[in-house]
A and B are shown apart, each in its own frame.
Chain A
Amino acid sequence: MRIRFWPRFTLRRKRAVWGYLFVSPFILGFIAFFLGPIVQSIIFAFNELTIKAAGFELTYVGWENFRYALRVDPDFVRVFTETTIQILVDLPAIILFSFFAANLLNQKFRGRWMARVVFFLPVILTAGIVYRFESGDILTDVLGYVPDETEVFSVSRSMIGLLSVLRMPAWFVQYILTAVERVPDIINASAIPIVVFLSALQGIPSSLYECAAIEGATGWETFWKITFPLVSPLFLTNIIYIIVDSFTRPGNTLVELINDSAWGRGIYGVSVAMTWMYFGVIAVILVLVFLLLARRVVYMEE
């Protein structure tokens, strides 16, 4: 009898091994550049970190870093609430706008290609560095990033009139007003959500629409019974993307504060503690959104 040195692999096993080979870079990277640092960041959050020439030193301080962030730091609590509220305000606005814009760009009209090129332009322009300089710039201060402040002002004023005539609740009016002021920001943040929605819209088989048309469905019905349900899984994807994007969006003052505490003031432990609290809130928001939406989402059978 021959003794087999290599174990006999079934095709299934072989495929599995190849699968591991293909994803092995990620497994390595995850352990080295993600899991390790995450564990370290938990340790750092409870320690005071001093960097020296030969390495770094940790002194255990317990919850002191968190206490410092919440009680001593003059800005953290304010910036933290502001950023959280900002995300909650932006999220529905970006989702609604990008869904609307994707539907707009999905229609056939002359110059559609050009419109798409321009709509996706913010993908390459929204990145940090450009905005860093814009914030301190006089031209953008005076003229406003918003095309013309007076225009927007008059828009919001007539909007107040309209909304109060309609007897909308005050919080709703306030929300609309903030949203209007942030129109350019919202448009710029929508570029990739639009891409995601648009490709989902293109993916809906045209046979469904034809069928609906033959059955005599109106455009309104078609939209709510076919388009909306089939695109609904992408709402979750986009919400996740928007939240992820908000971490690196330059207007995020909390991230600036965290960066400043780490690289400017050198209180690494505090900055990590702040990030953990930030992540905690984000996680809660995500879980809530997920619970709210997960049941209503329709998945097309594959």
Chain B
Amino acid sequence: MAAELSRDLETMPKVRRKSRFFTSHFWAETLWAFVRAVLVLGICYIIVYPLLIKLSSSMMTEKDMYDMLVKWIPRKLNYESIVQNYRLLYGFMDYPKALFNSLVLATTVALLQVVSSSLIGYGLARFDFFGKNLLFALVILTLLIPPQMIMVPLFLNFRFFDFFGIMPKSVNLLGTYWPFILTSITGMGLRNGFFIYIMRQVFRGLPKSLEEAALVDGAGQFRTFLTIMVPGAASAMLVVFLFAFVWQYNDYQFTRMYLSNTAPLLPFSLERLTRTFDVEQYSKEYISILNNTGMIMFITPLLLLYGFLQRYFIESIERTGIVG
């Protein structure tokens, strides 16, 4: 009934004002729509431009680079010419293995960070205890300190890890994934404070009544958290996952510090590329083509992930998820 009514209202002929084209309002609107379209397209172009340049140059041969008439589309364009650079780098970068390792590491870190930051964020959002505000200030402080400040001490701590003197003999955790796991699970990973901040805001924004109902019905605190709060914050958690994944996948400094740059991971394969194809043996143009191809291969998994998750990402912004 109600649906029919609203449909009728929609299909009802609208009352049109006669001289619509002559109102200044109409022209101002149209002009602004035009200006807006130009601005949005222009900004989009600036953002996408480097990607397009890389994509097009990854399909070129060295000859195309010297050719003044070629800017975007290479002279020869068939399956073989498109694939040639990729095929070369596929083997050279040890792509499948490096990609697999990078994905595993980034997924592990991102999952642990989602867990730790939602626990901590929930604790800060919904409980009253002594020192809560101080703790929140400390979360922000961990963000404000340049990571270089604690890099050297962290390096030494993990090199001679003795669990604060409890273990009789120190072990070397470098070269394993333990430094990543330990820092992520305690909310100290890359920009983890940012994720704690997001989760705190999200949990603060969720209605209290459901949670209280569950508690009154006899669910424990932890069960309430898992069954009531986590589903409510799911899309924000996906966003945190996306951020954490992306930053770990892209990270160079910490990963090199913990694992050294001989580890079979994508950033290091990419780096090896520039070291092997040096300017003395190959032309600058050819190196540039290979670099761009490598970068496309590096970025593609991220673009795919973003493609899958962008819906949740943008939805959670619309529902004012990220900042309460």
Chains A and B belong together in one complex: yes
Tally of A-B residue pairs with Cβ under 8 A? 268
- Does B95 belong to the interface (CB within 8 Å)? no
- Does A75 belong to the interface (CB within 8 Å)? no
Cα distance A240–B130 when bound, in Å? 26
- Does B122 belong to the interface (CB within 8 Å)? yes
- Does A104 belong to the interface (CB within 8 Å)? yes
Residues of B within 8 A of A248 (CB): 147, 253
Contact between B152 and A49 (Cβ–Cβ < 8 Å)?
yes
Contact between A33 and B39 (Cβ–Cβ < 8 Å)?
no
With A38-B145, A51-B156, A234-B323 as known contacts, state yes or no: A28 contacts B150, CB within 8 Å: no
Cα distance A185–B284 when bound, in Å? 25
Residues of A within 8 A of B288 (CB): 137-139
| Chain B, range 109-164, C-beta contacts under 8 Å to A | 116, 119-120, 122-124, 126-130, 132, 135, 138-140, 142-154, 156-157, 159-160, 164
> What 0/1 readout, one digit per residue, does chain B (292-313) give for beta carbons within 8 Å of chain A?
1011001100110110001001
Distance of A181 from chain B, by nearest CB (Å): 13
Which segment of B1-9, B15-23, B83-91, B183-191 sits at the interface?
A: B183-191
Cα distance A195–B151 when bound, in Å? 29
> What 0/1 readout, one digit per residue, does chain A (111-146) give for beta carbons within 8 Å of chain B?
101011111111111011110111011111001010
Contact between A275 and B253 (Cβ–Cβ < 8 Å)?
no
- Does A6 belong to the interface (CB within 8 Å)? no
With A30-B188, A117-B310 as known contacts, state yes or no: A56 contacts B156, CB within 8 Å: yes
Cα distance A282–B154 when bound, in Å? 22
Contact between A37 and B157 (Cβ–Cβ < 8 Å)?
yes
Q: Which residue of A lies closest to B285 (CB)?
A: A138
Residues of A within 8 A of B299 (CB): 124-125, 130
Cα distance A38–B127 when bound, in Å? 28
Residues of A within 8 A of B306 (CB): 121, 124
Which segment of A63-71, A197-205, A206-214, A291-299 sits at the interface?
A: A197-205
With A16-B127, A19-B127, A19-B132 as known contacts, state yes or no: A124 contacts B303, CB within 8 Å: yes
> What 0/1 readout, one digit per residue, does chain A (29-40) give for beta carbons within 8 Å of chain B?
110111011101
Residues of B within 8 A of A32 (CB): 157, 164, 182, 186, 188
- Does B61 belong to the interface (CB within 8 Å)? no
Residues of A within 8 A of B124 (CB): 22-23
Cα distance A129–B154 when bound, in Å? 22
With A187-B43, A268-B152 as known contacts, state yes or no: A23 contacts B33, CB within 8 Å: no
Contact between B310 and A275 (Cβ–Cβ < 8 Å)?
no
Residues of A within 8 A of B139 (CB): 26
- Does A286 belong to the interface (CB within 8 Å)? yes
With A119-B44, A202-B320, A275-B148 as known contacts, state yes or no: A34 contacts B50, CB within 8 Å: no
Contact between A262 and B152 (Cβ–Cβ < 8 Å)?
yes
Contact between B146 and A275 (Cβ–Cβ < 8 Å)?
yes
- Does A147 belong to the interface (CB within 8 Å)? yes
Residues of A within 8 A of B108 (CB): none
Residues of A within 8 A of B305 (CB): 124
- Does B73 belong to the interface (CB within 8 Å)? no
Q: Which residue of A lies closest to B292 (CB)?
A: A139
With A113-B314, A129-B298 as known contacts, state yes or no: A26 contacts B50, CB within 8 Å: no
Contact between B153 and A41 (Cβ–Cβ < 8 Å)?
yes
- Does B93 belong to the interface (CB within 8 Å)? no
Of the candidates A16, A18, A36, A187, which one forms a contact with B130 in the assembled complex, judged by CB atoms under 8 Å apart?
A16
With A26-B187, A240-B140 as known contacts, state yes or no: A37 contacts B150, CB within 8 Å: yes
- Does B291 belong to the interface (CB within 8 Å)? yes
Contact between B253 and A128 (Cβ–Cβ < 8 Å)?
yes
Contact between B143 and A240 (Cβ–Cβ < 8 Å)?
yes
- Does B51 belong to the interface (CB within 8 Å)? yes
Q: Which residue of B lies closest to A279 (CB)?
A: B146
Q: 26 A–B contact pairs at CB < 8 A?
A: A20-B123, A22-B123, A22-B124, A23-B135, A25-B116, A26-B135, A28-B186, A33-B154, A33-B157, A33-B186, A36-B164, A41-B149, A51-B159, A101-B43, A113-B314, A118-B47, A129-B252, A129-B270, A147-B49, A187-B46, A188-B47, A195-B317, A244-B144, A262-B151, A262-B152, A263-B257
Question: Which residues in B have some Cβ–Cβ distance to A below 8 Å?
Answer: 33, 36-37, 39-40, 43-51, 53, 57, 116, 119-120, 122-124, 126-130, 132, 135, 138-140, 142-154, 156-157, 159-160, 164, 170, 182-183, 185-188, 191, 194, 196, 221, 225, 242-243, 246-247, 249-253, 256-257, 267, 270-271, 274, 284-285, 287-288, 291-292, 294-295, 298-299, 302-303, 305-306, 310, 313-314, 316-324
Q: Which 10 A-B pairs have the closest CB atoms?
A: A29-B186, A19-B127, A22-B123, A127-B250, A37-B153, A37-B150, A40-B153, A23-B123, A203-B320, A16-B129
